[in-house]
Amino acid sequence: MPPPLLALSGVSKSFGAVAALRDVRLELYAGEAHALIGENGAGKSTLVKILAGVHAPDEGTVTLDGRPLVLRGPADARDAGIAVIYQEPTLFPDLSVAENIFMGRQPLRGLRRVDRARMRAMAAELFERLGVRLDPDRPARGLSIADQQLVEIAKAISLDARVLVMDEPTAALSGVEVDRLFAVARSVRDAGAAVLFISHRFDEVFALCERITVMRDGQWISTDPAAELTVDQAVRRMVGREVSTLFPKQQTTVGDPRLEVRGLTRHGVFADVGFTVRAGEIVALAGLVGAGRSEVSRAVFGVDRYDAGEVLVDGRRLPNGDTGAAIRAGLALVPEDRRQQGLVMELSVERNATLPRRWSLSWGGLLLGGAERRSAATWTQALRVKAARLADPVSTLSGGNQQKVVLAKWLATSPRVLIVDEPTRGIDIGTKAEVHRLLSQLAADGVAVLMVSSELPEVLGMADRVLVMHEGRLAADIPRDRADEESVMLAATGQAGRA
Amino acid sequence: MTVTQNRPGVQAERGTRLVRRTFAVRELGILLALVVLVAATTIANPRFLSAQNVKDLLLGSTILAILAVGQAVVVITRNVDLSVGSILGLSAFATGSVFLAAPGLPIPVMLVIGTALGAVLGAVNGGLIAAARVPALVVTLGTLYVFRGLDYMWATGRQINAADMPAGFLKMGTATVLGVPVLALFAVVVLVVVGYYTANYRSGRELYALGSDPAAARLSGIPTGRRILYAFVTSGALAGLAGVLYSARFGTVDANAGQGMELNVVAAVVVGGVAIFGGSGSVYGAALGAVLLTTIRAALPVLGINVFWQDAAVGALILAAIGLDRALSARVGRSLRERKAHV
């Protein structure tokens, strides 16, 4: 076997107290597509960012052609011939599509001026190769997630890279677009480049890749030829235990409708979304990135206004765009991005945990320390938050514990309807199970739970019903006994009617 | 298959036309406002368009326009430079002091000295922002006072009078070529050079990328710290140049020169259609904004509007400009989004 084109060995990387990668190895060969699989939080994206020169490894080495490679920044990685398509598109909304593709390496004409005409022609040529019709002069603002991803792909192939890294590039693409992407990836590979492909979809992994590496909890688990690995083996290695034990959803008796959403529309974001969540029920809202799930949950909670439709809690209509009224009616929202939206990072654990109830805990507007501390202590113990002291800033906690503080903060308000957006993103498996146990317990106590989640095992394990969104519309409402990976993915990619 | 192929193309073409129109509207709108203002004022008092008055208007706009061009470069990168008034003050006082010490110094050398002084002060701003990762608003608010303080310490209450300046230098402040003030020609040259650079050079385009999405800019390998440093050096250098021109125009300089000017400059940039959150707008718009603000201040007394209303009028203009900007971008954004959602 020839020596690897690109190799990582003994790579470790920590962020504060959290170890994202521990002693990871990876070998990519020229002319070969290599899959990297693992659960969310397994460290795949951190590894990608090391290859992209965004993060420098704390320990370990990266070699290219057997020579050590030190990347001081993304420009270094680009110059070394490493092209990266990120999970989330990173475009400049104000600039044209062509400029987005060639930023920093625009074709030049005399006096080192940017040659706009040639840049436009080159962009058009790339889109032709990808088989899409995008106007190179159009600004990137307003492009759908799928079109943004296509621009990213065009950018990556324009580099003629020796190593092409694709971090879940297909999450937002339709079937036709995925086929085209794969055709391009294969031609890149056959031209002698090494391809690293990250995906949650096993059919894609097995269709494209010759070799598969599994990661779990920031560690390398295994690397095998694709032909010698089955999906079941791969899943067991990713999860590290039997899937069924992970999601302890209890059977509950479903009660009266708690949350009713009718004809909810926000122009250009989602349209005519209607559903009901009953007491004791966990309803999952599934769909691809950018399908409008978080936007719906934000509109229901009153963070964003909607243009048409209505939201009812226990039969009473909520005013549009009024979070205060939503909280008073018994709604609670655990947002997707806990650092930005769920917590005030500089404040202490106890302040964060009691923030929504500062009025009921206060005495004539005065917050007396005792009440706050006692309440925070009760709830953080109930959720087993691991914090040195409750007075410490919440930013010192690990991701999983931060998420528990967000949950504690809202559970203490005794919500009647709990909306959780990606409740277990980026937290370790142990905490994940605890969060699931907690959601299940809440439902058993009669809370109506609406769970937005991108993790299919979580959706399938936890939900009594699965609502699937596709391009801003509700594409399917699947009961628990009929929900499986296939039915949800088909609806999420807009194929439900055609299948 | 054909459906998925045709859809993005058609949609994109329509979107582009709309956006192009909007970009044109930005700068054309300011020009239109300027024309309407001049026309209305001229109808009220025909002498408003006299050669002398036009010359005064251009002279009055020059310094503000040069500062606005520098400021626009900074604002495009999603930063702001509040220290330009103080840099202008230091440079103006330096001009007077240098001429006191060396009366025979050629004017071009003085222009270089002032510009270089401004560039150094701008490098202090940019260096602090890039190295300490402190927001530009805070850093330049600090240097606004620091630079002005240095100016006071240096001047110690002195004033440099026109009599202390070389006659040729003062003449440059009032001379005209074909009716156009020489100082205004400086502004035009600066505007064309910076405008061409930001539109046609890689590093100029990177300024827009940086303001449009700083995180994406880093991922694209753009040296963000260095670009921000250069933007502040540009703004500082132009403020330094403006300081030299200021002393040529007014002849008399004390430590208060350019005080409070920074807010006028930011106003001109915003009125000129440069988005305060970076990424869009042009230096041409900013310069037009400077001319418009200057013209309003000159026109209000002619129109019989009490001078005390001047500031309120300028303020209203800023709010109108921002309101228009928001309305336009909201409309563009909505129509770009809606087309997608409705297919």
pLDDT tens by residue, B150-208: 999 999 989 999 988 999 999 999 899 988 899 999 999 999 999 999 999 999 999 99
Q: Is the pLDDT of residue A123 over 80?
A: yes
What does the mean pLDDT of chain B come to? 87
Residue pair A264/A270 in contact (Cβ under 8 Å)? The answer is yes
Instruction: Identify the CA nearest to A117 among candidates A125, A104, B12.
Output: A125
Is A360 a member of any domain? yes
Is B3 a member of any domain? no
Least confident of A161-175, B51-65, B280-294: A161-175
Is B19 a member of any domain? no
State the total domains in chain B. 1
In a shared domain, residues A262 and A203: no
Q: Which H or E run includes B310?
A: helix B310-341
Q: For the residues A266-288, what does the mean pLDDT come to?
A: 90
CATH number at residue A25: 3.40.50.300
Q: For the residues A239-243, what does the mean pLDDT come to?
A: 60
pLDDT given for residue B11 in this prediction: 46
Least confident of A102-106, A251-255, A460-464, B227-231: A251-255
CATH number at residue B71: 1.10.3470
In a shared domain, residues A159 and A287: no
**What distance in Å separates the CA atoms of residue B280 and residue A319, rounded to the nearest whole number?**
36
Least confident of A161-170, A381-390, A490-499, B132-141: A490-499
Is B315 a member of any domain? yes
Min Cα separation B153/chain A (Å): 40
**What's A344's DSSP letter?**
-
Cross-strand pairs, A173: none
Residue pair A124/A153 in contact (Cβ under 8 Å)? The answer is no
Q: For the residues B269-289, what does the mean pLDDT come to?
A: 91
Residue pair A366/A358 in contact (Cβ under 8 Å)? The answer is no
Confidence of residue B335 (pLDDT cuts 50, 70, 90): low
pLDDT given for residue B7 in this prediction: 40
pLDDT given for residue B342 in this prediction: 34
Is A68 a member of any domain? yes
Q: For the residues A330-343, what does the mean pLDDT come to?
A: 79
- Cβ distance A103 to B206 less than 8 Å, yes or no, reads yes
In a shared domain, residues A219 and A273: no
Of A240, A271, A290, the last residue of a domain is: A240
- Cβ distance B215 to A108 less than 8 Å, yes or no, reads no
Q: Is the pLDDT of residue B46 over 80?
A: yes
Q: Is the pLDDT of residue A102 over 90?
A: yes
What does the block give as tokens for A71? 């990347």
Q: For the residues A108-122, what does the mean pLDDT come to?
A: 93
pLDDT given for residue A246 in this prediction: 57
Confidence of residue B13 (pLDDT cuts 50, 70, 90): very low
Is A322 a member of any domain? yes
Is B299 a member of any domain? yes
Q: For the residues A43-51, what does the mean pLDDT come to?
A: 90
pLDDT given for residue B18 in this prediction: 53
Is B339 a member of any domain? no
**What distance in Å separates the CA atoms of residue A430 and residue A107, rounded to the nearest whole number?**
51
Min Cα separation A71/chain B (Å): 11
In a shared domain, residues A452 and A408: yes
pLDDT given for residue B2 in this prediction: 35
- Cβ distance B337 to A114 less than 8 Å, yes or no, reads no
Min Cα separation A77/chain B (Å): 9
Min Cα separation A147/chain B (Å): 8
Is A107 a member of any domain? no
- Cβ distance B200 to A93 less than 8 Å, yes or no, reads no
Domain range for A396 is: 245-492
Q: Is A114 on the interface with B (CB under 8 A)?
A: yes
- Cβ distance B213 to A147 less than 8 Å, yes or no, reads no
Q: Is A471 on the interface with B (CB under 8 A)?
A: yes
User: Could you tell me what percent of chain A has a pLDDT over 90?
Assistant: 40
**What distance in Å separates the CA atoms of residue A122 and residue A160, rounded to the nearest whole number?**
13
Is B134 a member of any domain? yes
The better pLDDT of the pair A145, A281 is held by: A281
Mutation target to probe the B interface, by most B beta carbons within 10 A, among A92, A115, A116 is A92
Of A210, A240, A270, the last residue of a domain is: A240
pLDDT given for residue A369 in this prediction: 64
Nearest to B202 among A106, A132, A133 (CB): A106
Confidence of residue A340 (pLDDT cuts 50, 70, 90): low
**What distance in Å separates the CA atoms of residue B141 and residue B121, rounded to the nearest whole number?**
13
pLDDT tens by residue, A419-432: 998 887 766 666 77
Confidence of residue A251 (pLDDT cuts 50, 70, 90): confident
- Cβ distance B15 to A139 less than 8 Å, yes or no, reads yes
**What is the three-class DSSP state of A450?**
strand
In a shared domain, residues A232 and A260: no
In a shared domain, residues A288 and A314: yes
Q: For the residues B15-33, what does the mean pLDDT come to?
A: 66
User: What backbone torsions phi and psi does residue A11 show, to the nearest 5 degrees?
Assistant: -80, 130
The better pLDDT of the pair A388, B164 is held by: B164
User: Predicted ipTM?
Assistant: 0.84
pLDDT tens by residue, B57-66: 999 999 999 9
What does the block give as tokens for B149? 């303080």
Q: For the residues A388-396, what does the mean pLDDT come to?
A: 78
pLDDT given for residue B333 in this prediction: 66
Domain range for B233 is: 32-328
In a shared domain, residues A275 and A398: yes
pLDDT given for residue A247 in this prediction: 63
pLDDT tens by residue, A190-233: 989 999 999 877 788 899 999 999 998 889 999 999 999 988 78
Is B229 a member of any domain? yes
Is A137 a member of any domain? no
pLDDT given for residue A347 in this prediction: 83
CB under 8 Å to A367, separation ≥6 — which residues? Answer: A358, A361
- Chain centroid to CA A33: 24
Least confident of A235-239, B131-135, B222-226: A235-239
State the total domains in chain A. 2
**What distance in Å separates the CA atoms of residue A254 and residue A245, rounded to the nearest whole number?**
23
